[in-house]
Amino acid sequence: MFSPASLLSLSSLYVLLVLLSCFFGGVSSVPTKVGKGYRLISAEETSDGGFLGHLQVKQKNNIYGPDIPLLQLYVKHDTGDRLRVHITDAEKQRWEVPYNLLPREQPPALKQTIGRSRKNLLTVSELAGSELIFSFTADPFSFAVKRKSNGQTLFNSSSGGSDSFGEMVFKDQYLEISTQLPKDASLYGLGENTQPHGIKLYPNDPYTLYTTDVSAINLNTDLYGSHPVYMDLRNVGGEPFAHAVLLLNSNGMDVFYKGNSLTYKIIGGVFDFYFFSGPTPLDVVDQYTSFIGRPAPMPYWSLGFHQCRWGYHNLSVVEDVVENYRKAQIPLDVIWNDDDHMDGHKDFTLNPVNYPRSKLLAFLDKIHNRGMKYIVIIDPGIGVNSSYGVYQRGIANDVFIKYDGEPYLAQVWPGAVNFPDFLNPKTVAWWGDEIRRFHELVPVDGLWIDMNEASNFCSGKCTIPKGKQCPSGTGPGWICCLDCKNITKTRWDDPPYKINASGLQVPIGFKTIATSAVHYNGVLEYDAHSLYGFSQAIATHKALQGLEGKRPFILSRSTYVGSGKYAAHWTGDNKGTWEDLKYSITTVLNFGIFGVPMVGADICGFYPAPTEELCNRWIEVGAFYPFSRDHANYYSPRQELYQWKTVTKSAQNALGMRYKLLPYLYTLNYLAHKSGAPIARPLFFSFPAYKECYGLSTQFLLGSSLMVSPVLEQGKTSVKALFPPGSWYNLFDMTQTIVSKGQYFMLDAPLHVVNVHLYQNTILPMQQGGMISKEARMTPFTLIVTFPAGASEAQAKGNLYLDDDELPEMKLGNGYSTYVDLYATLKQGSVKIWSEVQEGQILGLGSKSIGLNDQSDEHK
Do 249 and 272 contact (CB within 8 A), yes or no? yes
CA–CA separation, 678 and 702 (whole Å): 8
List, in order of start, the domains of the chain with CATH numbers. Answer: 38-292 (2.60.40.1760), 300-667 (3.20.20.80), 668-859 (2.60.40.1180)
Between CA 160 and CA 528 the distance in angstroms is 35
The pLDDT score that the predictor gives to residue 17 is 38
Q: What pLDDT sits at residue 122?
A: 53
Which of 594, 579, 758, 606 shows the shortest CA–CA distance to 686? 758
SS (H, E, C) 765-795: EECCCCCCHHHHCCCCCEEEEECCCCCCEEE
Active-site hit among 573, 580, 602, 640: 573
CA–CA gap between residue 742 and residue 197 (Å, rounded): 23
pLDDT number for residue 859: 36
Q: Exactly one of 450, 493, 640, 803 is catalytic; which is it?
A: 450
pTM listed for this prediction: 0.95
**How many C-beta atoms surround the C-beta of residue 650 within 10 A?**
24
Q: How many CB atoms lie within 10 A of CB 379?
A: 26
> By C-alpha distance, which of 727, 704, 695, 700 is closest to 712?
700
User: How confident is the model over 386-426, as pLDDT tens digits?
Assistant: 999 999 999 999 999 999 999 999 999 999 999 999 999 99
Is residue 450 annotated as part of the catalytic site, yes or no? Answer: yes
Burial status of residue 406 (CB atoms within 10 A of its CB: 0-12, 13-18, 19 or more): exposed
Q: Is 725 helix (H, G, I), strand (E, B) or coil?
A: coil
Rounded Cα–Cα distance for residues 535 and 557 (Å): 12
Concerning whether 573 is annotated as a catalytic residue, the answer is yes
Q: What is the pLDDT of residues 792-836, one digit of tens each?
A: 999 999 999 999 988 899 988 878 899 999 999 999 889 999 999
- The conformation of residue 304, written as its DSSP 8-state character, comes to S
Strands 51-57 and 402-403: unpaired
| Annotated catalytic residue, options 67, 272, 453, 805 | 453
Q: How many CB atoms lie within 10 A of CB 674?
A: 18
Residue 209 CA to residue 252 CA, distance in Å, equals 6
632 with 732: CB under 8 angstroms? no
Per-run averaged pLDDT (10 residues), the chain, 860 residues: 48 38 37 87 90 96 97 97 98 98 96 58 67 95 96 94 89 98 96 96 95 92 97 94 99 97 98 99 99 98 99 98 99 98 98 99 99 99 98 99 98 98 99 99 98 98 93 82 91 96 93 98 99 99 93 98 99 97 98 99 96 99 99 95 99 99 99 99 98 98 99 99 98 96 98 98 98 98 97 97 91 88 95 89 43 34
> Active-site residue 184, yes or no?
no
Dihedral class, residue 265 (left if φ above 0, else alpha if ψ from -120 to 50, else beta):
beta
